[in-house]
Chain A
């Protein structure tokens, strides 16, 4: 079940081959949905689900896909899965679906999906592809949640919607940093995470 190669497919994307930090995929949605933690987590779960399923489906039909229209086939599969996720969200978590409205649709254009389908699912069997999808989805989610935690803590003084910074701080002149809520701070936060990550993994540094 978990041979060495499969383990690599599952665990490498968490750090050494992280889609956001190392492959620099999926930056757009990292900027968009990380103003607070709840949408970030839901977005992460949605991406994991869509990615694992689309990886498996593409891997299952990989031998039948005509190479000339493979991108179209990938897009149709991903788009269908995204619409299904969206319909489920509207039915079971309406508030979050309202918050994520546009971004769910944007999963289709999320570079991680197309990138992993092209690079992995087209050349591998379903089980490793499934693990690769889960691994990359998790790697993406971890970064999303870290960025969202930083931004929500300093931007709104809360985590998961619960007030963390106590009232007496505000009474003594502390103020939420409005800039943290705006997209540029997501970019800067991601950059800081990449900096720390590269510093700890010297083999990833480029000359």
Chain B
């Protein structure tokens, strides 16, 4: 048979593509459960890191997560709990959640070793090249940030990727407040030397990563603002006690 005839070439490519496609589909199906496990574990690590629980081995992640995350719920914009079944906030796909018109806002409640309660809020936004997301732990007063953890899909290594790699960046959020004199003023990410005009708390942006830093600022602003009702409710409860 002539190897360079058109029919041979077309048949050859067709068979090759079908074969390769079958093999890839099989590998994907076989490895999927293990991959999903890894991705879920990684998510748990990110959440735990927001409440300053240091990273641990994969075996410990699940039990540590169950130990510290005591409740999960979805709230509406007025701060009313609409769903509090187990794992409900963990399962939320933030990518679709931020787009929904009538958002159910996920909240993870954690109880630390010292007995204090922290509310962990997932945030999701856009960086320079792709999505960025994070987990913000807010103290029991409903105002002060206790800790934060940021991740990204494809920010530049050494520049934008430092929102994940450089612990100083996320740690700078600790102790910053979301409220000034009772009004919602989200902590901002400002270029070094600048300050927000509305008197809000701020942290320094990463040098060389202007757009990623701005993305983190916008993400915080947009996502945390929706929780205004929830935080206000906590604040009134605290005032009444």
Of the candidates A66, A84, A91, the one whose C-beta lies within 8 Å of that of B4 is A66
Nearest CB on A from B163, distance (A): 14
B 12-34 to A, binary, CB cutoff 8 A, 1 in contact else 0: 11001100100110011001001
Question: What residues of B have a CB within 8 angstroms of the CB of A76 in the complex?
Answer: 16-17, 20
Q: Whole-angstrom distance between the alpha carbons of A181 and B156 in the complex?
A: 13
State the CA gap A98–B161 with chains docked (Å): 12
Q: How far is the CA of A181 from the CA of B161 in the complex (A)?
A: 14
User: Which residue in A67, A72, A87, A94 is a CB contact (below 8 Å) of B3?
Assistant: A67
How distant is A39 from chain B, measured CB to nearest CB, in Å?
10
Cβ–Cβ contact A66 & B8, under 8 A: yes
Q: Is B154 an interface residue (CB 8 A)?
A: yes
Question: How many Å lie between the Cα of A65 and that of B13 in the bound state?
Answer: 10
User: Does A22 reach chain B (CB closer than 8 Å)?
Assistant: no
Q: Contacts A76-B16, A80-B20, A84-B27 known; A92 to B8 CB distance under 8 Å?
A: no
- Closest Cβ of chain A: how far from B44's Cβ, in Å? 12
B125 to chain A, nearest CB (A): 19
With contact pairs A66-B12, A94-B42, A181-B158 given, residues A80 and B24 touching in the complex (Cβ less than 8 Å)? yes
**Which among B17, B39, B157 is the interface contact of A94 at CB below 8 angstroms?**
B39
**Does A196 have its Cβ within 8 Å of any Cβ on chain B?**
no
Q: How far is the CB of A170 from chain B (nearest CB, A)?
A: 17
A66 cross-chain contacts in B, Cβ below 8 A: 3-4, 8-9, 12
Contacts of B38 in A (CB 8 A): 90-91, 94
Q: Are A102 and B35 in contact (CB under 8 A)?
A: no
Of A35, A73, A90, A98, which contacts B31 at CB under 8 A? A90
Query: Is A87 in contact with B35, judged by CB distance below 8 angstroms?
Result: yes
Q: How far is the CA of A181 from the CA of B158 in the complex (A)?
A: 8
Complex alpha-carbon distance, A65 and B12, angstroms: 8
Give the residues in chain B near A67, CB-CB below 8 Å: 3-4
Contact A83 B24 (CB under 8 A): yes
Query: How many of A's residues come within 8 Å of B, CB to CB?
Result: 25
Size class of the B contact interface (CB-based, 8 Å): 20 to 34
- B154: A residues at CB distance < 8 A: 101-102
User: A35 contacts which chain B residues (CB < 8 A)?
Assistant: 157-158
Q: Contact: B31 with A87, CB < 8 Å?
A: yes
- Contact across chains for B9 and A69 when beta carbons are under 8 A apart: yes
In the complex, chain B residues whose CB is within 8 Å of the CB of A87: 27-28, 31, 35
Q: Is the CB of B35 within 8 A of A90?
A: yes
- Chain A residues with CB under 8 Å of B13's CB are 69, 72-73
| Complex Cα–Cα for A137 and B230 (A) | 56
Q: How far is the CB of B1 from chain A (nearest CB, A)?
A: 10
Q: In chain B, what residue has the closest Cβ to A183?
A: B158
Query: Are A69 and B12 in contact, with the CB atoms below 8 A?
Result: yes
Q: Compute how far the CA of A142 lies from the CA of B26 in the bound complex, rounded to whole angstroms.
A: 33
B190-219: CB near A (< 8 Å → 1, else 0) gives: 000000000000000000000000000000
Kindly provide the distance from the CB of B156 to the nearest chain A CB, expressed in whole angstroms. 10
Q: Report A14-50 CB contacts with B as 1/0, cut-off 8 Å.
A: 0000000000000000000001000000000000000
B133 smallest CB distance to A (angstroms): 14
**Interchain Cβ contacts under 8 Å between A and B, 17 examples:** A35-B158, A65-B3, A65-B12, A66-B4, A66-B8, A66-B12, A67-B4, A76-B16, A76-B20, A77-B20, A80-B24, A83-B24, A84-B23, A84-B27, A87-B31, A90-B38, A94-B42
B→A interface (CB under 8 Å): 3-4, 8-9, 12-13, 16-17, 20, 23-24, 27-28, 31, 34-35, 38-39, 41-42, 154, 157-158
Binding site for B on A (CB under 8 A): 35, 64-69, 72-73, 76-77, 80, 83-84, 87-88, 90-92, 94, 98, 101-102, 181-182
New A-B pairs, 11, CB < 8 Å, besides A65-B12, A80-B24, A101-B154 = A35-B157, A64-B12, A65-B3, A66-B8, A73-B13, A84-B27, A90-B35, A91-B31, A94-B42, A98-B42, A182-B158
